Amino acid sequence: MELKERVRLAEPVLEAIPDAMRVLDGKGEVLFANRACRNLERRPHGELARDSGVIRLEGTQLGRVEVMRDVSELGRLRSELERTERKLRSLQTKYTFQDIVGQDPKLLQAVRQAKSAAATPAAILLRGESGTGKELFAQAIHQHSNRRRERLVAVNCSALPEELLESELFGYVEGSFTGARRGGKPGLFQQANRGTLFLDEIGDISPRIQTRLLRVLQEREILPVGAVEPIPVDVRIISATHRDLEAMVEAGQFRQDLYYRLNVFPIFLPALRERPGDLEDLVRCLLVRYSELYHRKAEDLEPEAAELLRRQAWRGNIRELENVVTRVLIRIPEDQKLLTRADFAAVLPQTAAARERPPEPQGMGATLAQILEETERTCIRQALEQCGGDKNEAAHRLGLPVRTLYYKCKKLGL
């Protein structure tokens, strides 16, 4: 019996098959196509994928059978997934230049410089004291660049020990060290590929990490821990520091060649005390952000309160102001709309005049050790108040190891 006759007898069964299928003879001519196949071929702009198998009888090839699928829907779903991923990447970056509050000339100059640099692939170094908004600027630069549809990956270099920072930045391969994840782990450079990597507190990295980072910037490739083959990466670098890198280079604590690679376009962010005219706008912005969170109705502050704030030294900059505003919101009644001078005076550690006044010595009968201990207690207490109780930040400002600060706090009853 010929193949054509066999197919004719099997037509009822072939028609019932839900997959699009057709049978071809040895010359490639279609002997039969079921209903699903006919419907599929009539669809406009369909992208078809075919799987075929040979029909043999007693060792002789009689023809073949093809099963077809429309994969255009998969392409559409793939495109939709990519669009969704791009949206998620953009959602990870919360801030744009519109979120930078203030009209101070120094701040506006920094914004103009950042916008100009964002349109280029140049490495950017954000300079400024802790709490001046360097991460906000980094996010705004990323959002203003042509990499905004890709990821912005941020890492605080001072928060991780050297070995952990190395594996986080460059990744590692399976079995490279005890406890390494099966299959290895991609580093932050790989995660930020085609996007932006923000290296905060870059001045705190060790000489060994400096050397590895320099190689990445020069060669545009990374070598994961334990790997033998480098991986090419395309990453835009934004770094930030509050340290005097120039002095560190002179002292041999920071590589000069790495400094020049990172410092292609420096942007200096002014401290909050250098732009006191922005204080009121910043407080109003913080009230919008936190009043609803703390179930308060505060909307503004009275002029006397603004004057008190302008007299503060704001060693912690905007981060310190943020802590002060949240403490005020916690203390006031829920329905209070205007913040007063007394509200802020109750949570501020001291007025500007008292803050700048050196600690008064104890009486003439006090020993030098007692005077030094009281001075130390006063300095540590001020640092803790300015940092909202954050001992890590306070230790950083005082130039002490965190463990030493904990010991001194216990010893001095703080």
- Mean pLDDT, residues 98-107 taken together: 93
Q: Domain of 160?
A: 83-268
pLDDT at 369 over 80: no
What is the average per-residue pLDDT within 129-138? 93
| Residue-level pLDDT at 27 | 83
Q: Is 166 inside a domain boundary?
A: yes
366 has a pLDDT exceeding 80: no
Which letter, b or e, does each residue of 146-164 get, where b requires 16 or more Cβ atoms within 10 Å of its Cβ? ebbebbbbbbebbebeeee
| Tokens 């001078």, residue located | 341
**Dist. CA 278–CA 296, nearest whole Å:** 23
Element (H, E) at 331: helix 317-331
CATH code for position 407:
1.10.10
Among 14, 38, 70, residue at a domain's last position: 70
When pLDDT is averaged across residues 240-263 and rounded to a whole number, the result is 94
To the nearest whole percent, how much of the chain has pLDDT over 90? 49
195 and 316 share a domain?
no
Of the candidates 327, 313, 239, the one whose C-alpha atom is nearest the C-alpha of residue 271 is: 313
Asked if residue 304 and residue 166 are part of one domain, the reply reads no
- Tell me: do 262 and 278 sit in the same domain: no
Considering the chain, what is the average pLDDT of its residues?
85
* Structure-token match 């706090």, residue found: 409
Does one domain contain both 350 and 368? no
Looking at the domain assignment, is residue 76 inside a domain? no
pLDDT exceeds 80 at position 138? yes
Kindly state whether residues 334 and 395 are assigned to the same domain: no
Q: Which of 37, 70, 103 is the last residue of a domain?
A: 70
Q: Which residues neighbour 95 within 8 Å (Cβ) at sequence distance 6 or greater?
A: 136, 139, 140, 143
**Mean pLDDT on 132-156:** 93
Is the domain of 59 the same as that of 186? no
| Token duo for residue 379 | 């300095």
140: Cβ contacts below 8 Å, ≥ 6 apart: 95, 96, 97, 99, 100, 114, 118
Averaged pLDDT for residues 294-301: 93
> Do 195 and 54 belong together in one domain?
no
Share of the chain above pLDDT 70, in %: 87
Distance CA 410, CA 414 (A): 6
Q: Number of structural domains, the chain?
A: 4
State pLDDT tens for residues 187-200: 899 999 999 999 99
Confidence of residue 93 (pLDDT cuts 50, 70, 90): low
**Residues 250-278: b if buried by 16+ CB within 10 A, e if exposed:** eeeebbeebbebbbebebebbbbeebbeb
What secondary structure does DSSP assign to 61-96, as a single string?
A: EEEEEEEEEE-HHHHHHHHHHHHHHHHHHHHH----
Domain at 233, CATH number: 3.40.50.300
Compare 117 and 6 and report the one with higher pLDDT: 117
Question: pTM for the full model?
Answer: 0.63
> CA-to-CA distance for 124 and 247, rounded, in angstroms?
19
- Shared-domain flag, residues 236 and 180: yes
Is 75 a domain residue? Answer: no
Tell me the per-residue pLDDT of 381-409, one tens digit each, with 9 for 90 and over: 888 877 777 787 788 778 887 777 877 88
Per-residue pLDDT at 358: 45
Same-domain status, 153 and 231: yes
Q: What are 44-81's pLDDT values in tens digits?
A: 656 677 788 888 887 788 888 888 877 766 666 666 66
- Domain assignment present for residue 78? The answer is no
Q: Domain boundary at 317, 337, 355, which?
A: 355
